[in-house]
Amino acid sequence: MKVSLVSTMLNEAKGLPEFLASLEGQRQVPDEWVVVDGGSTDATLDLLRDFAARAPFPVRVLSEPGCNIAKGRNLAIRQAAFDLIAVTDAGCRLDVAWLQELVRPFEGEGEGEAEGAAAVAGWYEPDVRTPFERRVAMATFPRLDRLDPAAFLPSSRSLAFRREVWAQVGGYPEALRLAGEDTAFDLAILAAGHRFSFARGAIVRWRPRGTWRSLLRQQYLYGFGDGEAGQNLPVAVRNGVKVLLVVSMLAGLVVRPWIGAPLLAVVLGARFMQLGRAGWALRDRVPSLVLFPALWGPQALGYLAGLRHRSRTRQAHETE
């Protein structure tokens, strides 16, 4: 079964060599790779063209300055030659068996897949290299031992589907400018009556955000994308409530310290115990007191900004 791999790029020169090495070293290489570059100003295009000249499979590099991720993926899929589409992006490393494991369920080799899958969710793991990255990974990456495969929504860094499924749901939602397009695409596939087969051996690894600035921006954009798409409202509400509780407890320390201090101690103690049961080492639990609010706050603010943008876009369309 032939497979087209599609990817989007934008200023990925720093991590691209590592990604290309993992792609070239696949146990099963793609039958073609279609890449859309969104207007890189670094050496990304040069690296891609050099790789295309020596790759053991056909590589097509398309330049589309200004396009967002969803538009770039749709463009690559339209240009793809084969009906089985695999998706990943730069900035990560592919396990040597990634593509091989990702396409097996389409051939009826996955669990309960006698007739072949419609869409396959691959797995992903953190590639941590610093203590900060380790803590971010523990706070943001799902754990395989706690995963419900039936409810798992895959990242488009480790995903495959039949072209007919992509066409049925209208492709990736190009109206989502910054983030959230892969979650919206996953939800559309489920709404169309399909389900994801889970390929736990199709592993992609990438580094979590390594600085506070990049982490806060990432979480804000995640929230913005969800708000713009009108999805994951319960998560946004929970994040907002958590932020309000944190602010209230900190205010209580100033206004009513004899009440606020014991209450804060109880909450922190319960949190320490919860993280301990989840496998967090003591050295990571203390920094988590700052880390988790740093995730909740930007996500909640981003969601509100995304909702506002969504409302303005709808109003603009209605007046046209």
Instruction: Please give the share of the chain, as a percent, with pLDDT higher than 90.
Output: 46
Q: Are residues 256 and 181 in the same domain?
A: no
Looking at residue 150, what is its pLDDT? 80
Distance of alpha carbon 30 from alpha carbon 33, whole angstroms? 7
Judged against a pLDDT cut of 80, whether residue 320 lies above it is answered with no
Phi/psi of residue 192, nearest 5 degrees? -80, 0
Is-contact 226 193, C-beta < 8 A?
Answer: no
Q: Give the domain-ending residue among 188, 206, 224.
A: 206
Where is pLDDT greater, at 8 or 179? 8
Distance of alpha carbon 158 from alpha carbon 149, whole angstroms? 14
Q: Are residues 78 and 114 in the same domain?
A: yes
Q: Are residues 189 and 233 in the same domain?
A: no
Q: Are residues 202 and 240 in the same domain?
A: no
Q: Are residues 227 and 181 in the same domain?
A: no
Distance of alpha carbon 222 from alpha carbon 208, whole angstroms? 14
Q: Give the domain-ending residue among 206, 241, 261.
A: 206
Looking at residue 307, what is its pLDDT? 85
Q: Are residues 23 and 168 in the same domain?
A: yes
Looking at residue 120, what is its pLDDT? 95
Q: Are residues 155 and 273 in the same domain?
A: no
pTM listed for this prediction:
0.82
Mean model confidence pLDDT for the chain: 86
Distance of alpha carbon 85 from alpha carbon 160, whole angstroms? 5
Q: Are residues 47 and 102 in the same domain?
A: yes
Distance of alpha carbon 138 from alpha carbon 136, whole angstroms? 5
The residue range of the domain holding 259 is: 212-319
Contacts of 258 (CB under 8 A, 6+ apart): none
Judged against a pLDDT cut of 80, whether residue 266 lies above it is answered with no
Looking at residue 114, what is its pLDDT? 40
Judged against a pLDDT cut of 60, whether residue 274 lies above it is answered with yes
Q: Are residues 160 and 27 in the same domain?
A: yes
Handedness of CA 52, 53, 55, 57 (dihedral sign): positive
Looking at residue 316, what is its pLDDT? 66
Report the CATH number at residue 14.
3.90.550.10
Q: How confident is the model over 35-62, as a mean pLDDT?
A: 93
Band the pLDDT of 115: cuts 50, 70, 90: low
Q: Are residues 245 and 303 in the same domain?
A: yes
Judged against a pLDDT cut of 90, whether residue 240 lies above it is answered with no
Q: How confident is the model over 225-251, as a mean pLDDT?
A: 82
How does pLDDT run across 170-227, given as a tens digit for each residue?
999 988 776 778 888 999 999 999 999 999 999 999 888 889 899 999 889 888 888 8
Looking at residue 28, what is its pLDDT? 94
Q: How confident is the model over 111-135, as a mean pLDDT?
A: 81
State the total domains in the chain.
2
Where is pLDDT greater, at 186 or 242? 186
How does pLDDT run across 134-167, given as a tens digit for each residue?
888 888 888 888 888 888 888 889 999 999 999 9
Smallest CA-to-CA distance from 190 within 201, 178, 182 is with 182
Q: Give the domain-ending residue among 175, 206, 237.
A: 206
Where is pLDDT greater, at 316 or 55? 55
Q: How confident is the model over 261-266, as a mean pLDDT?
A: 73
Q: How confident is the model over 37-55, as a mean pLDDT?
A: 93
Q: Are residues 193 and 127 in the same domain?
A: yes
Q: In the numeric block, which tokens belong to residue 88? A: 């990943």
How does pLDDT run across 281-303, given as a tens digit for each residue?
777 777 777 788 888 888 999 88
Distance of alpha carbon 25 from alpha carbon 6, whole angstroms? 17
Q: Are residues 236 and 201 in the same domain?
A: no
Where is pLDDT greater, at 252 or 210? 210
Listed in order, strand segments (DSSP E) in the chain are: 3-9, 32-37, 59-63, 84-87, 92-94, 119-126, 159-162, 196-206
Band the pLDDT of 112: cuts 50, 70, 90: very low
